[in-house]
Each structure stands twice: as structure tokens, then as C-alpha cells.
Amino acid sequence: MTTPGARLKALRESLGYKLRDVEIASERIAQRRKEEEYAIPISRLSDFETKSLVPSLHRLYSLAVIYRVTIKQLLIWYGIDTENYSADLVLAPAPNTRPAALELQGDVRLPVKLDPSFDLKKTVNLGRMVEKWGVVPLSYLAPLANADFTYGYVGVDDYTMYPLIMPGTFLQIDESKNQVRDGSWRSEYERPVYFVETRDEHICCWCTIEKGDRIVLQPHPLSPVAPRIMRHPQEAEVIGQVVGMAMRLDGVARPPAPPAQKAPAKLN
């Protein structure tokens, strides 16, 4: 089995670099960055190639630049497979609600051909409807993005809209709809849900604008979370309206019970 060090050496030699050439190039990077950690002495480079010594992050960057490869490729050589980044995200769920953003890098497998019998009107097992999967660079999807949309994630400890919106849900937010609408709603499904940013956190909730500069952040009535009244927009800014979501219905813990209400004191 070829070691990472042997691969580094083979790559260096294929480019025509001597050990001293790499040292000089890394020193230039260190000078430009004003950080000595980017510099790779000859002795240390030799250790990388022959003694299985793992480069530091700064020196890994220098090697990637000098050898004209990506840091991702070098990480793979050292056994760190970044292709499973998205799958590993579920192993570290964030407790707080926040905007969600991933860099458009790498590839993604997408369905490129669906079964002719697929009907958008019917509920189906989508996995069985895919006839062919293809690998598409994520950067190709950038032109498809709508600039009015942003994306959010409901923290696993956030039960504000439970059980209508479960903790761990991904949200699609239309930033052009950032004005709270008044109205009488026939059901909770008609009432707009908004993504709100406060000074300390993000909140997914119903909203009501009161007279003056007050906004009521209204949770679901079955939620253990209490309503909040804040100054708008100084303390709470409406980012946009939630217009789509991807939500799992299993594996969500029940919310903690609301604190017991104290009985009113009796008058003597």
C-alpha cells in the first residue's frame, strides 16, 4: 500500500522539484502570509516523505499550493474522506436554530432520469421512481439558486413550532416576504411562518406586529416555549417567510414539559 509520504515524494519528483525548491517556495508563502508555520524545512519535508510524519494545517496548505493539488486531495491521502461530510452532519446536530449554508464544492449524486409513470399528484416512494443517478458538480447548481431564497435549520433543542415544525428541520426562506401579514387564518397551515433573527439567536415562529414597534414571536400552542414580545426591528428582524421545508418525523424527542403554573394567591 502506498503511503501518503511516498505519494508526496512521487508528486514532487514528477513536478521536477528538489527538496530545496520546496523549502524556498514554502518560505515565500510564509513571508507573504507573515506566518512561519507555512515554511517547510528540508528536514521536515524529508520526514513527511519517509517517516509518515503528518504535516500541520499550515504546511499542508503550502504543499497543496506548491504541488498544484487541492487540500481535499491531500486530506484523502491521509485518510480523511470529505465526501461523507454531509452524512456526518447528522452525527453532530446543532442545538440552536440558525441559517444553513454549505459551500458549493465537490460533487453530488442526483436523479437524472425518473420513471415515466412518476406523477407529482401522487405520494410515492421517490427512491423507486429514480431510473438513473448521475454525479453532478455542485458548482453547476449555483445558477439555479434564487437570490431571494435563503436556508435555515431548526435546532434539535428548538421546540418553538413543535409539532408543526419538528426540531432538525431544514427551511427554505423567501427573503422578499419579510413583512408580517395580518389576517384571519382558517387553520395553522395557512398562517405564515417567519424566520426571525434576534441579537442572540434565530427563531422560526408565527409573528404579529403590535402598535408601535413591538413584534410578538408566537410559538405553536402545543409547544413548551413561551411567547416573546420584542422591539421591531431593533431587537427582532424578520428575515423572511418560510416557504418550504425538509422534515423528518421520526427520532425527535418529546419536548420538555412546560413549567408548572403557580396557583394565584388567595385574598384573606
What are 86-141's pLDDT values in tens digits?
778 778 878 887 776 555 556 666 676 777 876 756 655 666 667 777 766 665 56
Residue 216: pLDDT band (50, 70, 90) is very high
Q: How far apart are CA 226 and CA 194, in angstroms?
A: 17
Please provide the average confidence, as pLDDT, over all residues in the chain: 84
Query: What are the residues facing 152 on neighbouring strands?
Result: 99, 171
Q: How far apart are CA 193 and CA 172, in angstroms?
A: 11
Q: Is the peptide bond before 255 cis (omega within 30 degrees of 0)?
A: no
Task: Identify whether the C-beta of residue 23 lies closer than 8 Å to the C-beta of residue 41.
Answer: yes
Residue 55 confidence (pLDDT) = 96
pLDDT exceeds cutoff 90 at 254: no
Q: Number of H helices and number of E strands within the chain?
A: 7, 10
Residue 110 confidence (pLDDT) = 67
Residue 130 confidence (pLDDT) = 73
Neighbours of 211 (CB within 10 A): 5
| pLDDT tens readout for residues 138-178 | 655 665 565 678 888 888 889 999 999 998 888 999 999 99
pLDDT exceeds cutoff 70 at 251: no
| pLDDT tens readout for residues 25-56 | 999 999 999 999 999 999 999 999 999 899 99
Q: Which residue has the higher pLDDT, 106 or 240?
A: 240
Residues in Cβ contact with 20 at an 8 Å cutoff, skipping those fewer than 6 apart: 42
Cβ-defined contacts of 71-75 (< 8 Å, 24+): 72/106, 74/4
Residue 127 confidence (pLDDT) = 67
Query: Domains of the chain by range and CATH?
Result: 4-77 (1.10.260.40), 101-144 (no CATH), 149-246 (2.10.109.10)
Residue 142 confidence (pLDDT) = 61
Residue 82 confidence (pLDDT) = 78
Provide the residue type at 65 as one letter: V
Neighbours of 163 (CB within 10 A): 13
* C-alpha 10, offset from chain centre: 36
Which residue matches cell numbers 465526501?
A: 83
Nearest Cα to 223, choosing from 266, 184, 148, 166? 166
Give the DSSP H or E segment for 205. Answer: strand 202-209
Q: Rounded to the nearest 5°, which phi and psi values hold at 77?
A: -60, -35
Nearest Cα to 255, choosing from 216, 202, 219, 215? 219
User: Is residue 6 classed as helix, strand or coil in its secondary structure?
Assistant: helix
Residue 143 confidence (pLDDT) = 59
| pLDDT tens readout for residues 59-82 | 999 999 999 999 989 999 999 987
Q: Which residue has the higher pLDDT, 209 or 252?
A: 209
Residue 89 confidence (pLDDT) = 75
Residue 128 confidence (pLDDT) = 67
Q: How far apart are CA 233 and CA 218, in angstroms?
A: 16
Torsion of CA 23, 24, 25, 26, to 10 degrees: 50
Residue 268: pLDDT band (50, 70, 90) is very low
The DSSP secondary-structure symbol of 225 reads: P
Residue 150 confidence (pLDDT) = 86
